[in-house]
Amino acid sequence: MKVKYEKLLKWLYALPQRYFLPLLLGAVVMNVIFNTYYDDSLVTLATMGFVVYESVLFWFFEKIKTRRILRFFIYCFIGLLVMVLSGWLIGRGWQYSGVSFFEWFYLNSDEVGKVTEYNIFIMEGIGFFMISILYYFTLYRFRIFGVLLITMFPFVIYGKRSEKIDTLSLTFMMTIFLAMMVHQRLVTDDSPFKDKLILKNRSYAIAVALFVTFVGAVTMLLPKPNYISQLEGDKGIFRFDINANTTAYDDLNEVSSPRFGADATGEVLFYVTTSENVPEIYFRRQSFDIYRNEQFLQKSEYRTWYVEDETADSEVNSPLFVYRLMKQLAETGRYEKYGLTEDLFGKYKEYDSKYWLNIQSTTYSPTYIPAPLMANTESLTYCRRTPHGEVYYYDNYSARYGGIGVSYSYYSEQSPEYLHVSELPFSWGSFQRMMGEAMNNGDITPQQYSNITQVYELYTEKGGVTERVEQLAHEITDGYDTDYEKCEAIVDYFIQKGYIYDLEFEPDDESIEYFLFDSKTGVCTSYATAMTLMARAVNIPARYVEGFAAFERNSEGAYVVRDSHAHAFVEVYIAGAGWVTFDPTVPDYKDQLNNNNNNNTGEVIRTFIDYFSKIVLFLAVVFILVFVIFLDRFIECIFRIRLKICKSPAKKSLMLYTRILHLLENSSERGMNVRGMTPLEILALAETRGAEISREIGLFEQVCFGGYTPAAVEFEAAYSCYKKSWKALAGKRRDKKQKGQI
């Protein structure tokens, strides 16, 4: 019976030290993964289920590990069953959802819909793979690379999706990983210490706990590169109602923003990570149609024409749609007389390189999704895209759930694309004739022809184009042949003529003529307005667009988009290319905005408070660590102060003997009854540790059993021996002879 009890006790001791850390690491890693793919309400339940799953597999692997040959075939058979079930789940998920597993794996579930079969596969298939590696590399053969593989798996997922792991989860995961590096090597099957009850060694357990706690504290202290702050009211360059309670960026509007009087704070709106490494990305909020009374307006009748085409973006005049249409026409060989040849396509880029983009914020809750011109947002189930490119949330989805977290693919609009556009040989007249001929040949539909040609009717409207503006536009563009060259000339004009970007400038006359001919000073709204009107003045379709310019990067490489980065730019319809983005604002506006952001007092104060709180946390952890490490010394110090306060040598002798018993008892093996020993046995036990306490033992016997009242000098002599031996009594030091024997 005693033997069974000892075996049970040994097993209970071995259970936490052998299995706890691997099971905990697996649960934390999968919890991070579940947070990516599961609803918040299911994450905890899924994590608990995974703990049961990995516990059962660990138990099963332990059972079959003694069968050296058979275990290989058993594992292969189970692995085959898991693979078959995984394949069935993936196939069923594709069949019922129409969403490929790879698309679902790299996008948030909100964007492609919930696929229950894929969620089950994450638990069953990937979970089995993770548990197998975790068991082998932690309990059978400890290999740090294998454990690191498990820990890095969530980073691969989040990195591919351009997302960030929650700081607390990251800290917890890495702390457990470090604890396993220290501890798990001692309990694996190939370790010489696997049968020893390591957790009975208090010094070892405390040392490991202190180490991983300290590392976790340092990890929490390290500065986060991203700081998401609360917006301050409704101030910003695109403000509409200065007395409104919501921010100026929450909703879309029917009227463009005032051109002067911006009051941006430099606060962060959202963060953007993307797989494309470019200097800047333009995020459009909305476009406007006509110009009246020094402002652009949205015209409802301009926004009704729309043709549903499953082969194209929702905006049939997007660059991607027009590019593919022109390529199809070129492949027929019937339009070479207009300059449309196959050589124009694929020379630089075919708009077939999708990039992934992720937008994150916990405080910014718009009713729309900021998106580049060629964003592929059709897969987002909770929003819709208008023919003009605006992406609306259904039922104010973002504001209802708080913040914004969205991922989608998009096509680049950078140098290769502009090179392609610049080589297109069309004027509006030749393009219109070619499209009419293509319609007659049956190469395009009448509706496609109508949608393309209507652009020229709708976006060459001359409202706001005065005689002086029209004359200037012709002076700038008359020496150029194509519409693209003319637009480039307008952009260059502002730089060549020394126009100034000034956020603080407020003119007496806010007309566009005063900006163009007199002040030559303004912000992006003035530049974009001027270019839109000048392009229309020379019969080039153009529309004024408001959105954001993302160009500031943090230390992680993510774009930081602030309220001061709200930006106005222009989209021009280039014959044969579709809508193309132009930014006429002089380039030094980015430097000015960065300087203003760096001088933002509120940001500095909040950053200081953030770092101060981290320092306080760090100091608190350090204090606790120091206190725990030196706890026995603090207790010893308090004991010695009590001895100083006590005036009776006899009472001091009894107190000193009690202290010796306490030290020996705490430092002895479990089961040793130190307090039941005689003074001579206590003396013998102390001598095995190299402690000399014979004077105190003798003095204690005289006081306790003989009623002797010692002199102060006698106690001081005994106390002096104790002070030299207290570390040995506490088990902190052994004499050299004993160490040699060990």
pTM: 0.53
DSSP notation for 220-253:
HHSPPS-------TT-SSS-S-TT-SS-TTSS--
- The helix (run of H) or strand (run of E) holding residue 426 is none
Domain parsing of the chain, residue ranges:
2-221, 268-598, 599-629, 631-741
Tokens of 356: 């992934």
pLDDT of the residue at 639: 86
Give the Cα separation of 376 and 591 in Å (integer).
Answer: 31
| pLDDT mean over 43-61 | 87
pLDDT tens digits along 160-205: 555 667 666 777 777 777 777 766 555 555 555 444 444 445 555 5
pLDDT > 90 in the chain, percent? 17
Contacts (Cβ under 8 Å, ≥6 apart) of 72: none
pLDDT tens digits along 96-134: 766 677 767 765 555 455 778 888 888 888 888 888 888
| pLDDT mean over 402-413 | 84
Average pLDDT along the chain:
77
Cα 689 versus chain centre, distance:
55
| pLDDT mean over 354-383 | 85
pLDDT of the residue at 472: 96
pLDDT tens digits along 591-650: 666 665 555 555 555 555 555 555 555 556 556 655 656 667 778 888 888 888 888 888
Sign of CA dihedral 119, 556, 286, 446: negative
Is residue 383 within 8 A of residue 369, CB to CB? The reply is yes
CA angle 640, 643, 644 (to 5 degrees): 90
- The helix (run of H) or strand (run of E) holding residue 514 is helix 512-514
Of 575-589, 662-676, 723-737, give the range with the top mean pLDDT: 575-589
Radius of gyration in angstroms for the set of CA atoms belonging to the chain, rounded to a whole number = 38
Q: What is the dihedral of CA 516, 522, 523, 524, to 10 degrees?
A: 0
Tokens of 358: 């992720």
Contacts (Cβ under 8 Å, ≥6 apart) of 696: 653, 656, 657, 660, 718, 719, 721, 722
Tokens of 243: 């007395």
The single-letter DSSP state of residue 704 is H
Is residue 282 within 8 A of residue 569, CB to CB? The reply is yes
- The helix (run of H) or strand (run of E) holding residue 395 is none
Is residue 183 within 8 A of residue 191, CB to CB? The reply is no
Give the Cα separation of 451 and 704 in Å (integer).
Answer: 110
- The helix (run of H) or strand (run of E) holding residue 171 is helix 167-183
Three-state DSSP state, 542: strand
